[in-house]
A and B are shown apart, each in its own frame.
Chain A
C-alpha cells in the first residue's frame, strides 16, 4: 500500500518530531529553553525568593548575558560564565539531552559523548564575549507565558487535533 517514493517517516502523519522533555527538578532552574537562537532561561536566586536571574547563551558565538528580573546585572557574569549560566546548561542537558543542546548551540566537544561539563568547557574555551542583556525582557516574558499554561483550565470537550500527537516512550 502507498508508494515507495517517500520513506516511512516522511509518509507518517503521527511520527513524533520533538521528543518529550525529560522530567527534572525545577526549584533551581524553573525555566529553560532552546529558542530564538539561544539557550535561555530563568534561574532562582539562592538568597532572595522573590528574585530570579534571566540568563542566556547565544548559539554559535556563546555570547552570554545574565541579569535579574529587575534588570540589575549579575555580579558573577563579568567576563565569564556565572554560576547561573552553568546551572542553566546543566538543566538544559537534563531536559533536552546533551546531544540536542550541543547541536543547538553549535558546540563541538573535544572527545566522546557531550555532557553538561564538556559543553560548558568547550564554550568557555572560546573566551566568549559578554552580550548585552537586551534579550532579558523577552526571555522573562516567555517565562511568564510558560507559567500561564498552568492557569488554563482543563476541558472535557474533545480535541480531535491531538490525534496527531500520540504519546511516545521516547524522551529527549
Chain B
C-alpha cells in the first residue's frame, strides 16, 4: 500500500485526517459570527448576540480582547459603527489565521520538507493612499453587515460599482478593487437575498472581512522585495478567475545561483477582463506580460537575473530579468528538487485556510471514482482517502478528470476547504504503452497546437477584437 520512497518524499497521509486540537472550537466561533451576518446586524436577535459574544470570547486572550468585546456589545445592541465592524472582522481574521497556522504545521509534518522560516523583512512604505476610496468601500461593507445576506437588494449591492470603477485604474488599488468587484458581482447575482435558497455563509463572511481589513491604511502595502538570481524550475499553473478578473500563478522551485537553499516560489500574472472573455481566451490577456507562461508550456527552466522576490515567496515578474533556459521536466523537478525546497512564511493578513496551496507529489495511490456524485475522484494514499478537486482543473487545457482518474503519479497543490484537505491536480503521469506520459493542467498557457484549444483561442481572440473595435468607436466620443 505504501509506495516506495524514490526521493520524492513520502507523504504521511494519516496526519491529514487526524484531528487538530482546537480547530473545531475556533471554527465554531467563526461559524457563529458568520451566521449572525446572514440575518444582518441592524436589529440583532438574541441568537446573534450570543454568537458575537462567542467571537469575543474566542479572542479574549489576545491583544484584540477589549476592542472586540466592546464591538460585540455594540453590535449586539444594533449600534455598531465602522470601528466596531473592523474589530469584529479582525477577530474573525485572527481566528482563521490560527486555523491556517495549525493546518500549515500539520502539512509540514505530513510532507516532511524543510520548515518555512519566518522572514524579518518589513513591508515597504505604508503611507495612506486613496483614503477617500477606502472610506467609501468601508462604508459600503458596513451597510452590508447591517442588512445581512438575507437583506441584500440591487440598490445596496450597486453601491460598490462607483468605488470599484474608481479603484480599478490605479495599480496600487488592484487588490481591493478586484476583491470588491468579484464580491459585488456575486451578491448582485444572488439578489434579492430574502429569496436566496442557500447562502454561502463562510465564503461571504470571508470576502466581507477581508475586504474590510484591506480598506485600512497600510493593510496591503507594496511588498518589500529582494533581488534574486538563479534557476527557476516550474511545477505547474494554478488559474483563478471571477467574471471580471483572472490570475495565473506558476508554482516553481527556485535554485539560487549562490548555492543557497532551494525555495518554493510563485510567479503571478493577473488582468481585469470583460466577463465574455473566458476559457482559452484568458491566456492571450496574460501571456504578453509574462514569458514564464511560454516556458511552462515548453517544459523549460528559466534563468532569473536580479528578479524581485517578496518575503512571502512571490516573484514580481519582469521579463527583462528572465531568460528561457534548458529543458526541465516537471515530474523530474517534483522528484528531485521539490523535496529539498523550503517554503516561505505567509504574511500575517494572508494567513487563512483558503490561501494554503502546498505543492506535493503523490505516487502509488489507488483511485476511487463516484459516478453518482457528479464524477468525484479521490486517491487512497497509504490507506487514507484524499479528495481530489478536479473541478479546479481549468477546462481550457488537456488535463481532464478522466486523465486524473487513470493516473499513476500526480503533482498537485494540497489545499483545505470546508473541513477537509483536498488535492488540486497540476499535472499527472499516465502510463501509455508502457511509457510514462505527463499531462499538464496549464499546458496551453504559452499557446497550443491542440485542435480544440486552437479553436477556442481563436474564438476568444475574435471576441476581444470585436470589443476593442467597439471601444475604439464608442469610448472616446
Residues of A within 8 A of B (CB): 1-3, 5-15, 17-18, 20-27, 30-31, 34-37, 44, 49-50, 52, 69, 95, 143-171
Contacts and interface: CB of A to CB of B under 8 A. Distances in A.
B259 interface: no
A143 B178 CA distance: 19
A171 B241 CA distance: 13
Nearest to A30: B470
A37 B157 CA distance: 12
B336 interface: no
Contacts of B281: 23
B248 to A, nearest CB: 9
A3 B27 contact: yes
Given A36-B158, A149-B274, A152-B168, A165 B317 contact: no
B345 interface: no
Contact of A150 (B274, B279, B352, B420): B274
Given A21-B243, A148-B168, A157-B223, 16 more contacts: A7-B198, A8-B418, A9-B198, A17-B189, A20-B241, A21-B278, A52-B470, A147-B274, A148-B165, A150-B471, A152-B272, A154-B285, A156-B316, A157-B171, A163-B355, A165-B182
14 contacts: A3-B24, A13-B353, A25-B463, A26-B276, A26-B462, A26-B466, A27-B466, A149-B273, A154-B285, A159-B245, A159-B270, A162-B178, A163-B355, A167-B394
**On chain B, which size bracket covers the interface?**
35 or more
Contact of B23 (A1, A5, A21): A1
Contacts of A149: 168, 244, 272-274
A162 B276 contact: no
Contacts of A153: 171, 271
B242 A165 contact: yes
Interface stretch (B203-211, B359-367, B377-385): B203-211
Interface of B: 19-20, 23-24, 27-28, 31, 154, 158, 161, 165, 168-169, 171, 174-175, 178-179, 182, 185-186, 188-190, 198-203, 206-207, 210, 214, 222-223, 239-245, 247, 249, 266-276, 278-279, 281, 285-286, 288-290, 310, 312, 314, 316-318, 350, 352-355, 357, 390-395, 401, 417-420, 424, 456, 459-460, 462-464, 466-468, 470-471, 473-475
Contacts of A27: 462, 466
Contacts, number: 243
Interface of A is mostly: loop
A36 B159 CA distance: 12
Contacts of A5: 31
Contacts of A14: 203, 354, 417
Nearest to A160: B350
A157 B174 contact: yes
Contacts of B285: 154
Across the A-B interface, the 10 shortest Cβ-Cβ residue pairs: A2-B419, A154-B271, A156-B317, A162-B240, A161-B179, A147-B471, A167-B239, A154-B289, A162-B247, A12-B418
Contacts of A167: 239-241, 392-394
